[in-house]
Amino acid sequence: MPRHALIIVDLQNDFVEGGALAVSGGLELIPLANQWMPQFDVVIATQDWHPKNHQSFASQHPGVSIGDVFDLNGLSQVAWPDHCIQNSFGAKLVDGLNLSRINTIIQKGTDPEIDSYSGFFDNGHRKATCLADFLRSNDVDRVSVMGIATDYCVRFTALDAVTAGFQTTLILPGCRGVEMQTGDIKAAVEQMAAAGVTISPETP
């Protein structure tokens, strides 16, 4: 029987209040995730897992400031503060998240030469994670996506889920965005909708 999966994107210490790349309202997602997980057949968490010399970090490029956009191996790259470094406190999934309900954790961003917003692929679609294979092996045909950040990792995870053939829903109340430029979140939601993602303004 086809199954429905919840993908919880990057609920990590560095992305919530007090973290290196904090997103406003991130901590509000913990009780929501815990409340919703039992309603799904399968639960997956994605986790940014960067080596300390990751080339998306502004600190790796003299003269580049956080928020600048530059070319990284042929791809447009936002320069981020150092964040979610492997085995650091910042990379850990947030305290209070019910890990016992999570079936698997997909680590991404492990290659220092390319960033990985999506839980499915790196930003150049050069290498896949095992997420799609895991979902198919568990008879999943529908996914619902929540987490951080609406305009980056949530967006690209949802877009890749559609491309991979999964019926995909964005749980809008379960997302928080970066909004580096005014309108980024709205534009991201519109892009997802145009690609075939169902935008749910309601909780599951």
| 3-state secondary structure at position 184 | helix
Residue 153 annotated as catalytic: yes
User: Exactly one of 14, 108, 160, 175 is catalytic; which is it?
Assistant: 108
The predicted model gives 130-140 an average pLDDT of 98
User: Exactly one of 10, 14, 48, 115 is catalytic; which is it?
Assistant: 10
Residue 1 has pLDDT above 90, yes or no: no
pLDDT value of residue 199: 98
pTM beyond cutoff 0.75: yes
Residue 108 annotated as catalytic: yes
The CA-to-CA distance between both ends of the chain, in Å, stands at: 20
User: Exactly one of 122, 153, 160, 175 is catalytic; which is it?
Assistant: 153
| pLDDT tens column, 153-192 | 999 999 999 999 999 999 999 999 999 899 999 999 999 9
Apex CA 196: angle with CA 190 and CA 155, to 5°? 55
| pLDDT tens column, 58-100 | 999 999 999 999 999 999 999 999 999 999 999 999 999 999 9
